[in-house]
Every structure is written in C-alpha cells, then in structure tokens.
Structure 1
C-alpha cells in the first residue's frame, strides 16, 4: 500500500468512527469529525500531515502526494 492510500484510508476510517460515535455516544464527537476535516484541509494546502509521517516511518512506500 502506498503512503497516499494509507493516509486516505486512515482519514476515511476516522470520519466513519466519529460518525458512529456521534450516533451511539454523544453529539460532542462532531468536534472529532471537524478536527479530522480541518487536518485534511490544512494538509492539502501545506503538505504537512502527521499521519503521513507515521505511515512513512512504518514503512509505506512513497506515493505521489506526500514526497
């Protein structure tokens, strides 16, 4: 799996997890959803993504977006 796909899969999992937490636990978990969305937005403009650094250290090969 490339770094790009790993980051996108992780972000998607976090959004789905937060949606489930909102439904089953508390509407306050919408803050988690907002955090994930803001992190995705800032990484699109700056290229800095903490998840990408983690997956790169874990051995994912570099894709096109995060070089």
Structure 2
C-alpha cells in the first residue's frame, strides 16, 4: 500500500488540496445555488487529465514561484 508523506506541505500535496477544494466547492455550489457552478469540477478534471498526459500544471507553476518546493524527484532524506 502506498502512503504519501504528510510531514510537510510540499508542492504536489498543495495542488491536491486546491483540486479537492475546487471539485467539492463547485459541486456543492452547483447543487445548492446554480448548475453553472458544475463547470468548476469539470475544468479541474480536465486540468488533471492535461497534467497526467503532458506534465503541465498552471497551479504548480504559480505555487513554485510562490515558494512551494516539490517532493517528486527529491532523494529520500
């Protein structure tokens, strides 16, 4: 079983938090306010697919420039 490290807030973990908030928030707003809010989880899903196939993630670029550092590619400490 794979379990990710949770001892620090590295870039990949922050991206997952943002994606989760967008998906849950858009779904809840779509249910209680207006169906147009369902566009948020759809766009988040498309962004995740684009990242899976190309490695390009706009949120990761912004977070990296703000100082978040990636865990992937680091040697184990």
Q: Same fold (TM over 0.5)?
A: yes
User: TM class by shorter-chain length?
Assistant: 0.7 to 0.9
The structure whose RCO (Cα within 8 Å, separation 6+) is larger is: 1
Deviations 1:36-60 (A, max 9, x none): 1000111111000000001101111
Aligned residue for 1:18?
26
Q: CA RMSD in A?
A: 1.2
Structure 1 residues 4-61: Cα deviation after superposition (integer angstroms, max 9, x where no partner): 1010111001001101111121112112211110001111110000000011011111
Superposition pairs for residues 1-67 of structure 1, below 5 Å?
A: 1-64=9-72
Larger displacement relative to structure 2 (35-44 or 25-34): 25-34
| Count of aligned positions | 65
Runs of 4+ in 1 over 4 A off after TM superposition: none
With structure 1 as the length reference, what TM-score do the two structures score?
Answer: 0.88
Query: Which stretches in structure 1 are left out of the alignment for 5+ residues?
Result: none
Q: Which runs of 5+ in 2 are unaligned?
A: 1-8
